[in-house]
Amino acid sequence: MPPAGPGDVTDQAVGHDATLWTNATRCRDCNRCVRSCPVKAVRKEGGQARIGPENCILCGICVRECPQGAKSYRSQVSRVEHLIRTAPLVAASVAPSYMAAFTPAEQRGLPGVLRGLGFGLVAETAVGAEMVARASRGLINQNPTGRFICTACPAVVRYIQRYKPEAVGALFPLASPMTAHARYLKTKYGPQTAVVFIGPCLAKKDEALREECQPSVDAVLTFDELIGWVKSRGLSFVQAEESSFDDFRPTSGRLFPVSGGFAKTAGFSTDRLDWFILTATGPNSVREAVDFVTQAKDPVVMDALVCPGGCLGGVGIPQESSRFALRMAFLNSVGKTTEAEAVKGLEDAKDSDTAASAVAAADLTVHYPPDLKPIEAPDEAHIREVMARTGKYESSDELDCGACGYNTCREKAIAVIAGMAEIDMCIPFMRRSAELKTDAIVHNSPNAIVILDRELKIVHVNKKFCEMFMTSEHCRGRHISYFMDAEPYRRVIEGETARHDAILNLSAYGLVCQQVIYEIGEADSLQLVGILINLTHIKKQEAELDVLRREAIDRAEEVIDRQVEIVQEIVKHLAKSAAETRSTLTRLTDLVERKEDR
């Protein structure tokens, strides 16, 4: 069950009427849904996986497979609540796989819980399975040489309509047990009766809407949706009062969801060695089975269900235990319930019973038209041109590795042309492109780069390293100590320091470098990267600048000393001249005074 499961997204919230979609915010572009989709209905757009509704058969495999829980399907809980408020009678048609979805204690409370939710009638879809099985047996007996595909599975029907239209004629022209049961209930309880199917199946949501299946059920809930709804109402299956289903109690019809169930219900041999009735479950097996029936020469009846192991593997059933454990628990429950119930089954119904006449009156026919929307096959030149864009020029270039989600490079190229896939989904091509870009960056780096293994032996050197250390790429395998001190590398590899960053004087090479060392990779693939930024030129320029600076300072000091000397000389002369002037003036003053005295 995906975290973004049913019930938490409504039609209004997603703003479209698709049954199944991808939550863009959760999709991590891992291609798992592309890989697992049996009909390649997942379209990649801008790194997001989107479901193409016209091609999707609603098998639900991508819902189970998506590791991010990014696939959500339409919840119809609010529609059912609306029906309960407005319809004169709402009947629950519960698929037989409830015996796998719930524990025996929960099964006993199930009818009571459904009545508590507002259902006026709680019946088992297995009654519809018995009606269909009986009609199928009649058809087979009328056409003993026919080749038939008998299926209760709308995903198988949809697969045939869309992808194998030539096999549509082999489909029994009969309704599924779900639709047959709905028609029977509407015949018996009145056409205004709203019927809600509750089961494990996503594809039933689509079947209920298909034109050729009308009239059918009015809504479809998965068991997961029911469980969520019951929880939200504060109800409990275990604590509910034990009660029985209404209407007929089915018997072998409860086996329909498992392989061989149809044959058993229709009264045919279920011996696996019987050549006439074959069973196919799981998408690959169904594909082969459909091809087989269309080409078969001998009479054959193929019972086909798309989910692995049958409907017990449906997406709407909680998958808490293994498929085999689920099947065993289911068969055990069916056996015990059928044995314990001393209630009349459909097979024992007398024609005079009103119920039996409703069965007889219900129209079980459905004519499945082929879906003739063309699936265009691109021409060879176009396929080759697309393959060439991911470096596939010859058949030896086609790895067919499946990493893109497609089985072969050719299939992927066809999907690109159909707009379903993107060129960059080819993982080997993208990795090689990234490697080439990285190689180019490393190769043309202005710094020397050396990559060492755990033993400090050279794994890779770039062009600049070869230039600076006067070596060639053939130095691979040499210990780093051949070129420089290995100690800083040892300290990083032994975890003494996460990163080394220091200036290194390599006088033997006339180099001064800034050396940066760090680890890349993990555990066994751990490597060391050494980057040597050549500072020799800068250091030389710095030294020359130093000399110039010192010379300039010396010169300036000389000039200043000279200036000081000159100033001192001037001061000395000025002092001497001032003294002489003073003595002359003193003498003149004396002479003048003497003359006046006389």
- State the CB neighbour count (10 A cutoff) for residue 265: 27
In whole angstroms, the minimum distance from the beta carbon of 146 to ligand SF4 comes to 23
Beta-sheet strands, E only, within 253-403? 277-281, 300-305
Residues that bind ligand SF4 (CB under 6 A): 20, 36-37, 39, 41-42, 51, 56-62, 152-153, 155, 200-201, 203, 305-307, 310-311, 314, 399-404, 406, 408-409, 412, 426-429
- Residue 28 is encoded by which pair of tokens? 């991590």
In whole angstroms, the minimum distance from the beta carbon of 232 to ligand SF4 comes to 24
Query: Are 122 and 245 within 8 A, CB to CB?
Result: yes
In whole angstroms, the minimum distance from the beta carbon of 231 to ligand SF4 comes to 22
In whole angstroms, the minimum distance from the beta carbon of 219 to ligand SF4 comes to 16
Q: Of the two residues 180 and 517, which places its CB atom closer to ligand SF4 in the complex? A: 180
* Element spanning 44, H or E: strand 42-45
In whole angstroms, the minimum distance from the beta carbon of 356 to ligand SF4 comes to 27
- 3 state DSSP class of 500: strand
499-506 sheet: strands from edge to edge: 458-461, 448-452, 527-534, 511-520, 499-506
In whole angstroms, the minimum distance from the beta carbon of 442 to ligand SF4 comes to 25
Tell me how far apart the alpha carbons of residues 316 and 434 are, in angstroms, rounded to a whole number.
Answer: 41
Report in angstroms the alpha-carbon separations of 433 from 241, 426, 505: 65, 11, 38
Q: Of the two residues 312 and 484, which places its CB atom closer to ligand SF4 in the complex? A: 312
* DSSP, res 46: T
Q: Of the two residues 133 and 461, which places its CB atom closer to ligand SF4 in the complex? A: 133
In whole angstroms, the minimum distance from the beta carbon of 509 to ligand SF4 comes to 45
In whole angstroms, the minimum distance from the beta carbon of 435 to ligand SF4 comes to 15
Q: Which of 88, 75, 84, 69 is nearest to 28 (CA)?
A: 69
CA 329 from centre of chain: 31
In whole angstroms, the minimum distance from the beta carbon of 285 to ligand SF4 comes to 11
* Element spanning 553, H or E: helix 536-597
Tell me how far apart the alpha carbons of residues 378 and 515 are, in angstroms, rounded to a whole number.
Answer: 56
20, β-bridge pairs:
73
Q: Of the two residues 289 and 409, which places its CB atom closer to ligand SF4 in the complex? A: 409
In whole angstroms, the minimum distance from the beta carbon of 136 to ligand SF4 comes to 16
Q: Of the two residues 108 and 412, which places its CB atom closer to ligand SF4 in the complex? A: 412
Tell me how far apart the alpha carbons of residues 133 and 494 are, in angstroms, rounded to a whole number.
Answer: 73
The Cβ-side half-sphere exposure at 414, using a 13 Å CA radius, reads: 15
Q: Tell me how long the chain is.
A: 598
Q: Of the two residues 403 and 475, which places its CB atom closer to ligand SF4 in the complex? A: 403
Q: Of the two residues 153 and 168, which places its CB atom closer to ligand SF4 in the complex? A: 153
* DSSP, res 244: P
Number of helical H runs and strand E runs in the chain: 21, 16
Q: Of the two residues 304 and 484, which places its CB atom closer to ligand SF4 in the complex? A: 304
Tell me how far apart the alpha carbons of residues 115 and 284 are, in angstroms, rounded to a whole number.
Answer: 40
Q: Of the two residues 254 and 500, which places its CB atom closer to ligand SF4 in the complex? A: 254
Q: Of the two residues 37 and 301, which places its CB atom closer to ligand SF4 in the complex? A: 37
Terminal-residue alpha carbon distance, the chain: 142
